[in-house]
A and B are shown apart, each in its own frame.
Chain A
Amino acid sequence: MIDWCDKCEELMQPYLDGSLSDAEVAEAAHHLELCSWCAKRFRFEERLRHYVRVAVSEPMSAELKAKLSALRTPLDA
């Protein structure tokens, strides 16, 4: 017998990445409709991915930006 919650845990990453087959998407979506426990964990994963992207983003310093700009080939008059 299949434990659908276990199966959904396995499918979560490829489901959110959009890399499952249509049949697998339909299977997972069907279970998520019935199971709020799994649905919540999928929503958390989506938010987590976004949060990770924002949390680790560090802007470049103005000094480095200026240094890179200075690497440009000087234009001949």
Chain B
Amino acid sequence: MSDTAPTTANTRRLAEEARARVRFEEEALDLSDQVYRVARRLVGSREEAEDLVQQTYERAFRSWRQFTPGTNLRAWLLRILTNLNIDRGRRQQRAPQTTPLETEAGDYFLYNKLEAQLPEENPAEERVLERLSQDSIVDALADVPHDFRDVIVLVDIGEFTYADAAQILDIPIGTVMSRLHRGRRILKKNLADGVPA
């Protein structure tokens, strides 16, 4: 009798842990589309993004006990992913790390340029937006220096809060906000530069 009680408790504990693990893995897999969508824009190619997402899930499943239930699992996965991305030497990526300040333009610059190219007076904003192709947006984003692009991708594409983005990238919230503000201007300047005159 005294032998079997601890064994039963132990079995129960193991069964509970197995269930928790299955639940964790299912929840993480449910987020994989969203994780990939962000990963794809953090790196330069589809292959790199796929590798990175796979490594992220391998690591997440290995260290699942470190995740605190009830906290943001998507942000936790992205934290692993951005750390792996930094480890693998993101320096090879195409965009330079910094951009000279003089290349920056104000927030109205892109609209002003696009509108001026249309023949009609006072066109509707939909007409102005149509001047931008999907490919031109992908290219313009890829050419944003990665410090700024990371924040745009997390907040504007991945729809993370400033606080989550700050935690994922291990930078202060104020830095997230200033990089986002400047990064969007760089993105729009890139878009404006890509439009044929």
- Residues of chain A having any CB pair with chain B under 8 Å: 9-10, 12-14, 19, 40-41, 43-45, 47-49, 51-53, 55-61, 64-65, 67-69, 71-73, 75-76
Q: How far is the CA of A65 from the CA of B184 in the complex (A)?
A: 31
B32 touches A13 (CB 8 A): no
**Which residues from chain B contact A51 at a C-beta distance below 8 Å?**
129, 132, 137
Q: How far is the CA of A10 from the CA of B156 in the complex (A)?
A: 19
Max chain A Cβ within 10 angstroms of own Cβ: one of B22, B108, B157: B108
Chain B 53-83 against A: per-residue CB contact (8 Å), 1 yes, 0 no?
A: 1100110010000000000000000000000
**Which residues from chain A contact B132 at a C-beta distance below 8 Å?**
48, 51
Q: Least Cβ distance of A6 to chain B in Å?
A: 8
B128 touches A44 (CB 8 A): yes
**Which residues from chain A contact B25 at a C-beta distance below 8 Å?**
71-73
**Which residues from chain A contact B157 at a C-beta distance below 8 Å?**
52-53, 56-57
Q: How far is the CA of A46 from the CA of B141 in the complex (A)?
A: 17
Nearest residue (CB) in A for B25 is A72
Known: A52-B187, A56-B137, A64-B53. 14 other contacts (CB 8 A): A9-B106, A9-B108, A44-B129, A51-B137, A56-B40, A58-B40, A58-B46, A59-B37, A60-B36, A68-B29, A71-B57, A71-B61, A72-B29, A73-B61
A19-B177, A58-B40, A73-B21 in contact; A43/B29 too (CB < 8 A)?
A: no
**Which residues from chain B contact A71 at a C-beta distance below 8 Å?**
25, 54, 57-58, 61
Q: Is the interface of B mostly helix, strand, loop or mixed?
A: helix
Chain B 7-23 against A: per-residue CB contact (8 Å), 1 yes, 0 no?
A: 00000000000100110
What are the 4 closest A-B residue pairs judged by CB atoms, nearest first? A60-B36, A55-B137, A44-B125, A55-B134
A41-B111, A67-B54, A73-B22 in contact; A57/B37 too (CB < 8 A)?
A: yes
Q: How many residues of B contact A (CB 8 A)?
A: 41
11 A-B pairs with C-beta separation under 8 A? A9-B106, A9-B108, A41-B111, A52-B141, A52-B157, A53-B157, A59-B37, A65-B32, A68-B54, A71-B57, A71-B61
**Which residues from chain A contact B106 at a C-beta distance below 8 Å?**
9
> Residue A76 contacts which of B18, B32, B107, B159 (CB distance < 8 angstroms)?
B18
Q: How far is the CA of A33 from the CA of B111 in the complex (A)?
A: 19
Nearest residue (CB) in B for A69 is B29
**Which residues from chain B contact A73 at a C-beta distance below 8 Å?**
21-22, 25, 61
